[in-house]
Chains A and B, each alone.
Chain A
């Protein structure tokens, strides 16, 4: 197996990006779920 250089930098960069996007996705979906429960279905045009 070929050793990779700068492993720490690559892992930190990709790790921060994926964790940030994953967290933001989770928070957005949870916000949506909470708000959607307070609104009648006819106001949710997409469902």
Chain B
């Protein structure tokens, strides 16, 4: 039986009161962050004003890692519970994570030119982050590939197994600067005695909070988009079944189920 098409009465969007409040907070935070990152925070003695790239590069890197963690947890939960919510969350976090990883790579490359003298090097941190980016692309591609039988469970299984690999790869990215010789600096803020302080440390923390708000806002919207895609996909399947039955001359009584 197919559900009759109902004209939506409310606003047909992925917004809610919560996301609107979060969106306004994010915009205000971004304005404040731009003030601190580009104007009020001091230049670094060694890097001069190139250090201002840190306030976008480091937060996006951290949130890319958070996204991978969410996808790995969602994949594990999908393998355990097989619920649609975990499947949708895994895909949403991976897509937002891909955007943040891409920005992290690009801003890191731009920052590398004035500080290291090169846009790119086969450095362990840069190379492992690029592999993470490729892994995210592969994960998202795998989720979209239908197998020959159209078996959703098999498609989900393949996606979830790749999803499980994301966070272990993040650990390789994180520890790569300790395990191998690297151009990239070691941990700056995750150690007990951070190597930056004052307004620079405040601006970096503000960047993490503001980009965190933006990440959360995007994740909620992207989750709802994924949820809607599943609903539309299910409706499309029902319609296709009806068409096939009509072609075969099988009639379904009005109000009855097939």
Q: A residues near B, CB below 8 A?
A: 4-7, 9-10, 12-14, 16-17, 20-21, 24-25, 28-29, 31-33, 35-44, 46-47
Contact = CB atoms under 8 A, between A and B. Distances in A.
B14 A5 contact: no
Contact of B11 (A6, A7, A25, A47): A47
Interface in B178-234: 214, 218, 221-222, 224-225, 228-229, 231-232
A9 B52 CA distance: 10
Contacts of A33: 12-14
**Dominant secondary structure of chain B at its interface with chain A:** helix
Contacts of A7: 49
B103 A17 contact: yes
B50 A21 contact: no
Contacts of B29: none
19 contacts: A10-B52, A13-B111, A14-B37, A17-B107, A24-B99, A24-B218, A29-B14, A35-B228, A36-B14, A38-B228, A39-B235, A41-B6, A42-B6, A43-B231, A46-B15, A46-B224, A47-B11, A47-B12, A47-B16
Chain B contact-residue range equals 35 or more
B57 interface: yes
B3 A5 contact: no
A32 B224 contact: yes
Given A39-B232, A41-B8, A9 B16 contact: no
Contact of B38 (A14, A28, A44, A46): A14
Instruction: List the 6 closest A-B pairs by CB distance, nearest first.
Output: A32-B14, A35-B228, A36-B12, A40-B6, A46-B16, A5-B48
Most chain A beta carbons < 10 A, residue from B34, B99, B103, B228: B228
Nearest to B54: A13
Nearest to B8: A41
A2 to B, nearest CB: 9
B9 interface: yes
B3 A40 contact: yes
B232 A10 contact: no
B88 to A, nearest CB: 12
A41 to B, nearest CB: 5
Contacts of B12: 33, 36-37, 39, 44, 47
